[in-house]
Amino acid sequence: MQLVNHIRNDHKDHFRIGIICPYKAQATLIEKLLSRVHNDDDKVEILIGTIHGFQGDECDIIISVFNPPFGISKSPAMFLNKQNVLNVAISRARDYLFILMPDDHTQDVENLYRIKKIERLINNHAVGRLSVYNSEIVEEKLLGSNTYVYDNTFATTHQSVNVYSKPEKKI
């Protein structure tokens, strides 16, 4: 993971990166993908889990993934419209917070009114400390290819997500 390598070179002490996902299937997918590109070491600890799993925890860097389910509901009962849930997802970072959220072209994105409120607050109060990137750039920086997720995943009816690699040729 290029982000880890960059930070590792500039950081003297042990540090923790937390990747927070709203849904278990997303956390599982990210965990499987990162296991293919990240080698464990003594300096970097990467934690991946759901919002509920991060309650009461902190990391030096938090990456909050606000990827909504298909068919975004406006209901206040929808998980990504709950203020306490989003508060946990954005308040676990000691030093840096990265938020991955759907862009304005996402169908029904206006129904994510709590996430859109966070976006407005950031745009109004983080002037000079905010950078916005599209998904291809983020994927390239984090995983080394702007099509990494597409190239390494597929959905089946048996499992929510599979991560695969090219078959080994047996001689």
Tokens of 117: 């409120």
CA-CA-CA-CA torsion sign (127, 135, 43, 47): positive
Per-residue pLDDT tens digits for 149-164: 778 776 655 555 666 6
Q: Which fold has domain 2-163?
A: Rossmann fold (3.40.50)
- The Cα-based distances of 167 to 21, 35, 81 in angstroms read 30, 17, 42
- Is the pLDDT at 108 greater than 60? The verdict is yes
Q: Any idea which of 20-24, 46-50, 60-64, 134-138 has the lowest mean pLDDT?
A: 134-138
pLDDT at residue number 64: 93
Could you tell me the pTM of the whole model? 0.77
Percentage of residues of the chain with pLDDT beyond 90: 23
Cα separation, 49 vs 57, whole angstroms: 11
